[in-house]
Amino acid sequence: MLAESLTLSAALFTIGVVGVLTRRNAIIVFMCVELMLNAVNLSFVALSRLYGATGQVFVIFVMTVAAAEAAVGLAIIIAIFRHKKSVNLQDINLLRG
Amino acid sequence: MQNEFLPLFYTFHFYLFGLIALVGAIVFVTRKSPVAAALWLVVVMFALAALYVMLDAQFVGMMQILVYAGAIMVVFLFVVMLLNLGHPSDLNDMRGKLGRLLAGLVGLALVAELMALTRSEVTMKLVVPPVENAAAGTAGIIGPIAGPLFKEYLLAFELTSVLLLVAIIGAVVLAKKRSN
Amino acid sequence: MLQNAHPLAETVARFVWWLPTVPLLGFLINGALSMFAAAKLGPADPSAADHHGHSGEAHDQPHAAEHGAEHGAADAGHGDHGHVVRHKYAPIVSIVGPGVMVLAFGLALATFMAMRSAESPAPYINTLFSWLPVGDLKVDAALQLDALSMVMVLVITGIGMLIHLFSVGYMQDDPGYPRYFAYLNLFVFFMLLLVLGANYVVTFVGWEGVGLCSYLLIGFWFSDKANADAGKKAFVVNRIGDFGFMVAMFLLFSHLGTLDYAAIAESADKLPAGGIVVTAICLFLFLGCAGKSAQIPLFVWLPDAMAGPTPVSALIHAATMVTAGVFLVARSSMLFSLAPVASLTVALTGAVTALFAATIGLKQWDIKKVLAYSTVSQLGYMFVGVGVGAYSAGVFHLITHAFFKALLFLGSGSVIFSMHRAYHATHNHGDDAQDMRNMGGLKQYMPITWGLMWIATLAIAGVPPFSGFFSKDEILGAAFARAHGSTLADASLLGIPGNIVLYTVWIFGLAAALLTAIYMTRMMLYTFHGPNRTGDAARPHLAEAPWIMTGPLLVLGVLSLAGGWLNLPEVVTDLMPLGPTAKLEHWLEPVVGEATKRVAGAGTPVAASTEELLIGFAVAIAIAGITIAVMRLKPSALVPKSAASPSTGLQSVLENKWYVDEAYDAAIVRPTYTFSRSVLWTGVDIGLIDTILVNGSAAAARFLGWIGSQLQSGRVGTYAWLLVLGAVLLLRAFARAS
Amino acid sequence: MMKEMLASIGYNYWILTVLLALPIVGAVALAFQASASASQDALARMGSARKLALLFFAAECLISLGLWWSVDYGSPDWQAAAAVPWIPSWGIYYRIGVDGIAVVLMLMTTCIMPLTVLGSWTSIREKPHAFYALLLVLTTGMLGVFMSLDLVLFYVFWELMLIPMYLIIGIWGGQRRLYASLKFFLFTMLGSLLMLVAILYIGLKTADPLGRPVFNYDFILQSASYPGSAALWLFGAFFVAFAVKVPMWPFHTWLPDAHVEAPTAGSVVLASVMLKMGTFGFVRFALPLFPDAVANPMVRSTVITLAVIGIVYGALVSMVQPDFKKLVAYSSVSHLGFVMLGIFALTTQSMQGALLININHAVSTGALFLLIGMIYERRHTRLLADFGGIAKVMPIFAVMLTIVALSSIGVPGTNGFVGEFLVLIGAFRTEPIAATIATTVVIFAAVYLLWALQRIIYNPLAKPENAALKDLNAREIGLLLPFIIAIFWLGLYPAPILNRTHSAATRIIERVHGLSESSSGSVRP
C-alpha cells in the first residue's frame, strides 16, 4: 500500500498547491496549506510502516505546529480583516512596507 | 493479517478512503464559499484518519480526528462565521483563466516530479532494512510512539509546548481589539 | 687622510668652514631680529577672535604694516610720502649685516695668502660630517678649497662686502631692513657653499639655496603682485635648470659611482671621450647652468628679477649667483673637455644669447632692464669662454664682469635713489624713477657716479685699458683660436662642422660687442647727458648719494679700471711691462689646465701677428659702437615717459623683448594648466575615476538592489508563486541528479 | 650607556605591549571622564578632555623614545619580540616585534600624535572626549600594524585603524563629511578584504604538521611556496590593499575628499601616519612574501609606471587646485609616488630614500595641514583666493609656512631633498627613464607650492577680513617648532635614521634579489 499512499500524498499536496495558487481568499488559502500538511503527514505515516514509528512522532509534531500556526494565522487574518474589511490577498500587501 | 479475506477487504477500503480523500480535496478547492470548503476539508481529514488507521497508525488517526477535524477546522469555521464572509463579492475569489491555467500546469509539473521521485532510484536507495516490529505486540499502539517521543525527541517535544504557549499568547495579542 | 697630509691643513685654511658659517650666523641674528620686531602673538583661541569683533589693536597693526611696506616699494617708483621711521633694530643690523661680510672677506684673504704660500696644486678637502651614507653612495658634507673656489670666494666675499655696505645706505628707510640683511647674508652663505662644495650634491645645496634667496629677495616687496610673480618665475625657471643638474648627478653616480669632484677628476677618463654618456651628463649640467645663468632658452627670469632692490640685482643678478653656471662648467671642465658636442652647444648657446640679449638691450627704457639684458649678454660671453675650452678666460670675464657690472648696478642704484628722493620730496607719485626718459643731464648733479659709471661702460664695451677689454678679448681670441684647431673644431654639432660653429660663435661675439658698446653708450647718454627731464619741481632735489653708497662705488671703479691686470695677455706684456703675464691662468692651472690642454689638442697656436690684428679689430668695433651711439642718438630730442608716444615696428618688438615671455606663456604655461585642469582633474579624476568608476560602481550596486527590491512586492500571491516555482525547479534538479 | 640603562629595566620586554595598551587605557579613562563631567559646560569639558588626552599621548611618546637606543638595528632578528597564543587552534598568535624600519615609523607616530592633540586644542568643541578617545584607539591600531608579526593580528590592527578615522571624518568633518568618510571607508575596505582572502589562503596553505593553519610571518617567509600563478594573485590582493592606502594612482581619489573634510587632527594623522601604512605594508609584507611576483618584470614595470603616473599626475593636478587642503592632498599623491618608485626600484639608495620620504612627508605635510588648520580657524576658509598678503599681519606664520613649503618642495638643506634625492639617484640605476620623468616634478612642485604661497602670504593685502588676522600664538609656535627642527635635522643630518633602517632595507632587497635570481635572474643590482 506504500506506493498508493505516496501517490495519494503527492496528489493531495498538488491539489493544495494549486489551491494556494488559484484562490485569493486568505482563509481558503490557509486551508489549502493545511491540506498540504496533511498530505505530508500521509507520507510520514505510510513510510513509518517501513522505518518504524519515528515517522508518526513527526506527524504529531507537524500537527502541533499546524495547530499553533492555525491559531496565530487566523488571529492575523482577524486583525487584518478589522483593518481592511477584507481577507482578499490582493488587498493585503502590508509586507511592502 | 492471517485472514485471507482481510487483504481484499483492506484493499477495498483503502482505495475507497483514498478516493474519498482525493475527490473531497478536489471539491474542497473548487468551492466558492469558505464554509463549504471547510466542510469538504473535514471530509478529507476524516478519510485521511481512516487511512492512518489502516496504515497501523491508529494513534495518529485518532489525533487527526481530534486535533484537525475537531479543533483546527472548528476554529476555521468559527473564524469564517465570525468574519461573516458570505458576501457575493468575496465569494468570487478565483484568479483569472490564465492564472488557473498556469497553476494547473505547475500542479501537473509538480505531481509529475513527485511521482518520478517516489519511483526513482534515490528513494530505493534510501530504503533501510525495516526495523523489527517485534515489540509492537507487547508495547501496544502507543508505546512505539511514546518511546521516541519521550526519549530521543524529548527536547523537541518540550519545545512544542513553548511553541504552543507562544502561539496562544500571539493569537490573543493579535486578535485583541485595539483600545484606541 | 688626504686632509692631514695636505700642506694647507695646518694653516688658516682648516677654518674654511667658517667662511660660510659666518654669514649664516649673520642670517640667524638678523632673522631673529626681524622676527622679534614683527612678533605680536595671536590670541590663545584663534577662532574666538571672530566672535568678539575686532580689537583696536587689530586695526592698528596692519595699518602700520601696510604703510611701511608701501614705503618700502619706493624703489619700484611707487613711493608714498610718509614719515620715515627707521627700523628699531636698524643700528644692530647695520653692524651685523656688513660686519659678517667683512669678517668673511678677511678670512678669505687670509686663506688666500695661506694658499699662495703653500703652493700645493692638490685641492684641500675639509670633511665636516657624513651626510648621506647609503650603500655605495657616500655623500659627505665637505668643502673643497682649490684655486677655482678660492677665486670665487674672493669675488663673492669682496664684492658682497661692498654691496652690503652700499645697502646700508640704500635700504636705510625700509621697514624690512633686518629681513633684507638676513636674506642677503643667507645668500652669501649659500653662494659660498656652492663654490666651496667638494661634491656635486653640496654644490647643489648652494645652487638651490641661492635660487631660494634670489626668490626671497626679488619678492622682497611682496605686496606688489608683480614682484611676487617675478620671484616665483625666477625660482621656477631655475628649477627647470635644476632638473638638468639632478639628472646629470644621477648619470654621474650610475656610471662613475661617485659625486666627489676629486674622485670624478680621477675617474672621468673611464667615460669614453665624446661618448653619449659624457655628452648627456654635460648637456644636462648645462641645462642647469642655463637656468641659473639665464641663457637661452631659460633667460626670461633675469630681466623680471630686477623687481628686487637694486643692490640685490648687483650682488645676485650680476656679480655672483648668475655666474654660478659658468663656475659649474669650469668646475666640471674634466667632463666638458671630454664632450666636444656639449662644449660646442655651450659656446653656441652663449654666443646666441649674447647677441640676442644685446638686441633687446638696445631699446629698453628702464635703466635696470638695460643692465639686466646686458648681464644676460655678458653671461653669454662667459659661456663662449668656457664652451670653447678657455676655462680661465671664462672665469676671468666672470671676475671683471663682477667688478664693472656691480659698479653699473650700484651706480644705477645711486641714480634711482637720488631720483626717488627727488620725487619723494616733491610728492610726485606718478613718474617712474627708473625710466631713463625721466632722467637726463644727471652729470651735473651726481658727478662722481657719472664718472665711475663711464669707467664701467668703457670696461663693458671693451675699450682698453679697462678690465673688460682684456677678458672679452681673451674669450673672442680663444674662440677664434679653437676654430683653427682643437678637438672642438674636429667634432660636429648636428652635422655642422665644429670649426664653422666656432667661427659663427666668434662673429656673433663681435656683433654682440658692437651692440654692447651702442646700448651702454645710449644708457649713459640718456641718463647723464643732455637736458634734464626729471621735472622742474624735483630737479633741485637731485644730488649725490651719501658716502656709504658712493664709497663702494669708488672701490669698484678702481677694480673695473685695473681688473685686467689680473690676467694680462702676452701680446700686451710684450708691448709694455705692466705686470706678470696671465696670472689668473697660471693660478687656475691646477684645476682647469688639463682640461684646457685636452680641448686645445694639437692645434697650432694663433700667430702673434694674427692675435694683434684681432685685438685691433675688437677695439675698433668697441670704439665704432660708441661713436655710432654718440652720433646717432640725440638725448635732447627725448621726451619724458609721460609724454612719449608708443613705439612701432621692430622697435616695439625689441621693446617687448621679442615677445618671448608671451610665447612661453602661450606655448607652455597655459597649455600645462589647461591640461591639468580640464583633462587630468575634471576629466580623469572627477570624471573617469570618481564619476564612472567609484560612483558608477555604487550606482550599479544600487541598481541591482533596486531589481531585488522590485521582487519584494509585498503580495503574498506573488511570493507563493515564486516559492512553488522554486520548489519545482529544485525538485527538477534533484530528480535529474538522482 | 642609554642602552644599558634601558636593558636594566627590561625595557625591551614590555615596551611594545605597553605601547599598545596605554592608548586603550587612555581611551577608557576618557570615557570615564566623559560620564563624570557630563554636567559641566562645553568649554570645561573640552579643557579636561584635551589635557587628559595630551597626558596619555605625551606618556606614550616619552616611553617610546627608548626604542631609539634599545634596539639592535644590525641584528637580523626581531627586536623586543613577544609571542602569546591567541587562537591557537587556528594558529593565530599575538606575535609582535620590530626592526629598524618599524622603529623609525613608530617613533614618528608617537611623536606626531601629541602634536595633533595640540593642533586641535581649540578647534574640537563637540564631543571632545569621544574625539580624543578615538585618536587614542587609532594610535593603538597604527602602532599595532607596525609591530605585528602574525598576518591575522596584522589584519586586525589594520582594520582597527580604519574605524576611528572613519568616525573622526564622519563626525567632526566639514560639509560633505559623510560622503568623504564613506568613500574613505569603502575604498580601504575593498582593498583590505582582498588582503584578508589572501591572508587566509596563505595561512591555510602553510599548515603546520598537525594540519593547523599558520599565520606566523617568519614561518611563512621560510616555508611558503605557492603553486603556479598563485603568488601573482596573492601579491595582487596585497597590492590593492596597500595601494589604496598609499594611495597610488588610480586609487587615490578618496584622499582629497577625506583630507578636505577631515578636521585638522584627522588630516595630520591621515597624511603623516596612515598613508605610511600602505608603503610599510609593501616593505614588510608584499615584497618579502612574494619576491617572485615582485621580480616579475611585468609586475614591476606596472607598479613603477603607476608610481610615476602618480608622481607627475599629483603634481599637475595640485597646480590647479583652488583649495589649499586639496592641493596638499594631491601633493601627497605625488610624494607617496616617490616612495613607491623607491621601493620598487629595488636599490639600497632608493629603498632607504623611500623610507626617509615616509618620514619627511609626515613632517612636511603634517606641518602644512597644521598651518592650514591655523588659518582656517581664523578665517574659516581654505580657498587660496580668499587670502593674500597676510605675511604683513602674520609674519611668523609666513615664515613657518615658507619653511614648510620649501621642505615640501624639496629644497636642499631641508628634509624634502634628501629623500627625493636618494630615491631618484637609486631608481636611476635600475629605472632611468622612470626616474628622469619623476625628476621633472621638482619643477611642478615649485610651481604649485610657490603659487599657493604667493596667493596666501604675498601679493597685496587686499581683503579687509585678512587685515585683522592675528599672528600665531605661543601654543601654535610651540607646536610647529618640533616640525621645523625635524625639517632641518633630517635635511642636514639624516645619517642616524639611515643607519637605523639600513640593515632592514638591505635584507628586503637581498631577499627579493636572492629569491628571484633563482627563477629569473634578470634584475640588475
Question: D88: which 3 cell numbers?
Answer: 591557537
Q: Is residue C651 pLDDT above 60, yes or no?
A: yes
Nearest to C187 by CA among C250, C225, C129, C234: C234
Inter-chain touch C735–B116, beta carbons under 8 Å: yes
Nearest to A62 by CA among D435, C656, B63, D88: B63
* β-pair partners for C493: C496
**pLDDT tens per residue across span D140-173:** 999 999 999 999 999 999 999 999 999 999 999 8
| Phi, then psi, of D87 in degrees rounded to 5 | -125, 80
With bands split at pLDDT 50, 70 and 90, how would you rate the model's confidence at C1? very low
ipTM reported for the complex surpasses 0.90: no
Which pLDDT score is estimated for C332? 92
Q: Is residue C655 pLDDT above 90, yes or no?
A: no
Q: Could you tell me the CA-to-CA distances from D154 to B160, D24, D146, D157, D215 in Å, in that order?
A: 47, 17, 8, 5, 10
Q: How far apart are the C-alpha atoms of C452 and D364, rounded to whole Å?
A: 49
Which pLDDT score is estimated for B94? 66
Q: Percent of chain B scored above 70 by pLDDT?
A: 76
Inter-chain touch D422–C132, beta carbons under 8 Å: yes
Which pLDDT score is estimated for D304? 94
Which pLDDT score is estimated for A93? 67
* β-pair partners for A13: none
- Of residues C440 and D60, the one with the higher pLDDT is D60
For residue C100, count CB atoms less than 10 angstroms from its CB and return exposed for 0-12, middle for 13-18, buried for 19 or more.
buried
* β-pair partners for D82: D96
Chains B and D touch (3+ CB pairs under 8 A): no
* β-pair partners for C435: C366
**pLDDT tens per residue across span D85-100:** 998 888 899 999 999 9
Q: What is the rounded average pLDDT of the residues C416-435?
A: 84
**pLDDT tens per residue across span C180-207:** 999 999 999 999 999 999 999 999 999 9
- C318 in Cβ contact with C373 (< 8 Å): no
Q: Which of B106, B110, B121 sits opposite C738 (nearest CB)?
A: B121
Q: How far apart are the C-alpha atoms of A12 and B114, rounded to whole Å?
A: 11
- Of residues C46 and B75, the one with the higher pLDDT is B75
- C158 in Cβ contact with C31 (< 8 Å): no
Q: Is residue C423 pLDDT above 70, yes or no?
A: yes
pTM as predicted? 0.82
**pLDDT tens per residue across span C222-256:** 888 888 889 999 999 999 999 999 999 999 999 99
Number of cross-chain residue pairs from A and B with Cβ atoms under 8 Å apart: 217
Q: Would you kindly state where each structural domain of chain A is located, as residue ranges?
A: 2-84
Nearest to A6 by CA among A41, A51, A53: A41
- CA of C161, closest CA in chain D: separation in Å? 25
Chain C residues 131-160 with CB within 8 Å of chain D: 131-137, 141
Which pLDDT score is estimated for C108? 93
CATH number corresponding to A2-84? 1.10.287.3510
Q: How far apart are the C-alpha atoms of B107 and B112, rounded to whole Å?
A: 8
Tell me whether C675 touches chain D (CB under 8 Å): yes
Question: D427: which 3 cell numbers?
Answer: 631608481
Q: Could you tell me the CA-to-CA distances from D101 to B79, B88, D70, D71 in Å, in that order?
A: 78, 85, 14, 11
**pLDDT tens per residue across span C616-635:** 888 999 999 999 999 888 87
- C102 in Cβ contact with C90 (< 8 Å): no
Which pLDDT score is estimated for C74? 37
Q: Is residue B82 pLDDT above 60, yes or no?
A: yes
CB atoms within 10 A of CB C117: 11
Q: Is residue B64 pLDDT above 70, yes or no?
A: yes
CA angle C174–C175–C177, rounded 5-degree value = 65
In chain B, residues with a C-beta closer than 8 Å to the C-beta of C732 are 113
Q: Is residue C535 pLDDT above 70, yes or no?
A: yes
**pLDDT tens per residue across span C665-688:** 888 888 888 888 888 888 888 888
**pLDDT tens per residue across span A35-76:** 999 999 999 998 887 777 888 899 999 999 999 999 999 998
Inter-chain touch C714–A95, beta carbons under 8 Å: yes
| Phi, then psi, of C535 in degrees rounded to 5 | 115, 145
- C43 in Cβ contact with D474 (< 8 Å): no
Q: How far apart are the C-alpha atoms of A8 and A27, rounded to whole Å?
A: 24
Tell me whether C578 touches chain D (CB under 8 Å): no
Which pLDDT score is estimated for D238? 93
Q: Is residue C59 pLDDT above 80, yes or no?
A: no
Q: Which of B54, B60, B106 sits opposite A56 (nearest CB)?
A: B60
Substitution target in A57, A82, A90, A91 with the highest count of B β-carbons within 10 Å is A57
Q: Would you kindly state where each structural domain of chain D is located, as residue ranges?
A: 296-322+332-492
In chain C, residues with a C-beta closer than 8 Å to the C-beta of D432 are 250, 254
Substitution target in C713, C715, C716 with the highest count of A β-carbons within 10 Å is C716
* β-pair partners for C137: C134
With bands split at pLDDT 50, 70 and 90, how would you rate the model's confidence at C58? very low
Q: How far apart are the C-alpha atoms of B139 and B147, rounded to whole Å?
A: 10
- CA of C721, closest CA in chain A: separation in Å? 7
Pairing of strands C492-493, C496-497: antiparallel
- D78 in Cβ contact with D503 (< 8 Å): no
CA angle C145–C147–C150, rounded 5-degree value = 60
For residue D379, count CB atoms less than 10 angstroms from its CB and return exposed for 0-12, middle for 13-18, buried for 19 or more.
buried
With bands split at pLDDT 50, 70 and 90, how would you rate the model's confidence at C297? confident
Q: Could you tell me the CA-to-CA distances from D269 to D19, D30, D326, D381, D486 in Å, in that order?
A: 17, 20, 16, 21, 17
In chain D, residues with a C-beta closer than 8 Å to the C-beta of C43 are 470, 473
Chain A neighbors (3+ CB pairs < 8 Å): B, C
Q: How far apart are the C-alpha atoms of D476 and D454, rounded to whole Å?
A: 22
**pLDDT tens per residue across span C345-376:** 999 999 999 999 999 988 888 899 999 999 99
- D219 in Cβ contact with D289 (< 8 Å): no
Question: D446: which 3 cell numbers?
Answer: 615649485
Which pLDDT score is estimated for C158? 93
Which pLDDT score is estimated for B135? 45
With bands split at pLDDT 50, 70 and 90, how would you rate the model's confidence at D518? very low
With bands split at pLDDT 50, 70 and 90, how would you rate the model's confidence at C429? confident
With bands split at pLDDT 50, 70 and 90, how would you rate the model's confidence at B174? confident
- CA of B104, closest CA in chain C: separation in Å? 12
Give the distance from CA B149 to its chain's centroid: 20
| Phi, then psi, of C76 in degrees rounded to 5 | -80, 0
Q: Could you tell me the CA-to-CA distances from C272 to A30, C277, C386, C399, D490 in Å, in that order?
A: 98, 8, 21, 33, 38
Structural element, H or E, at residue C493: strand C492-493
Inter-chain touch D422–C232, beta carbons under 8 Å: no
In chain A, residues with a C-beta closer than 8 Å to the C-beta of C712 are 95-96
Number of cross-chain residue pairs from A and C with Cβ atoms under 8 Å apart: 31
Spell out a b/e string for C203-228, using b for 16 or more CB atoms within 10 Å of the CB, else e.
Answer: bbbbbbbbbbbbbbbbbbbbbbbebb
Q: Which of C714, C720, C721 sits opposite A93 (nearest CB)?
A: C714
Q: How far apart are the C-alpha atoms of D89 and C328, rounded to whole Å?
A: 68
With bands split at pLDDT 50, 70 and 90, how would you rate the model's confidence at C2? very low
Residue that is written with C-alpha cell 618665475 in the block: C233
